[in-house]
Structure 1
Amino acid sequence: MTQGRFISFEGGEGMGKSTQARLLANFLENSGTSVVLTREPGGTPGAEAIRELLLHPPGEGWEAEAEALLFAAARSDHVARLIRPAIHDGRWVICDRYLDSSRAYQGRAGQVGDAAVRQLHAIGSHGLLPDATIVLRASTQQVERRLRERDGDETDAIGGRENSYHTAVNSAFEAFASEEPDRFLMVDGEGTIEEVHQRVLDVLFSFLPEKRS
């Protein structure tokens, strides 16, 4: 049986990750590849329950450390019950956010520390990493427009944080891509959805050429 692949999409708020993950999944399915499209936090019943706690927390919300633990718990269930079995069955897993969001949001912006987030991942998910991580980036103006169209006046507990937090998140993703070029693929998120999709295909299948058709 052919081994599956694991691709994650990363980036800050409003970069278009969900849209591009869906388009890549559709492209692969149309080329005859068996695909699982999933997201974090979420993807399994247990992880989706934790997602609700994270995005709509009770009381005053979570401290950064508790938030990191909750994300790690959700990811552990997601990896054990969905991601690893799908890869083992020869499917491609396309995930909207994964470990590197925890590294950027809780590790860097939340100041929990990258080593601590990675240790939680080693314990909870046995260190599973994607074959490739696509990081989308776009201008502040483009992102603000997309967020207005997507959310209106509503936001969640993480998306609604102050600008300095999100600036730190975006800087973290840039740093990860620079530090780990063997996994991270930077993609310009400016332009139309179709233009960005084509860039994703070009960079991904230059990196993993076996599936281009």
Structure 2
Amino acid sequence: MNDPGLNTLLKWSIENSAVSDNAEPNQPRTQLTPELLAQLMGGPSDADRMIQAMQAIHDPEVDHENKGIAWDNFEQLVENLDNANNMEQLGLWMPLVQKLESEDKQDREMACWCLGTAVQNNIKSQERALAVGAIEKVAKLCSDADAGVRKKAIRVISSEVRNYQPALDEAVKYLPAELVGDGKFDADDMANVDVLVNGLRERSAKMA
């Protein structure tokens, strides 16, 4: 049996069967992840749901309301660190980033929301967002005509650049010149980053 998921399920089953009643009470037990529980119950995995949500988001036959539901589902899924890190393997980064340039403000806002969730305290996703060119697009959305889009875009910048200097260096290339000055910001200095982020928020408020 080469499937690690099936091996884990088998181990869990043995540990929790009557045969194991005499096992030591403090003996570590195998833990079932949501993915394995879905496999056990025969339901779709988180990966399946992420793919389905993104397909709905890009499907022109899906109406605005149901696209919103798909966006909500996707955002909730990428709150999980493992799911966020699985986006690359599932080929979901580019479809997400494409929606940053959508003509539909719901798409732009929700794409920022999902992106901000995925990169928060997650260096792997921060690196990926930089690699796929998301930062330039998000930086430009900090000046979007819609206040909701601007708010979510600024949240992305705040999460993406903290403790990750390459992302901060990239962001200042595209953020408003009056805020970045000489562009010398330190990603490891939270107060320094806050100066930039708060400046973006104040500028956005004046645009309303």
- Structure 2 length normalisation: TM-score? 0.31
Larger RCO of the pair (alpha carbons < 8 Å, separation 6+): 1
- Structure 1 length normalisation: TM-score? 0.31
Quick check: which one's helix share is greater? Answer: 2
Quick check: which one's strand share is greater? Answer: 1
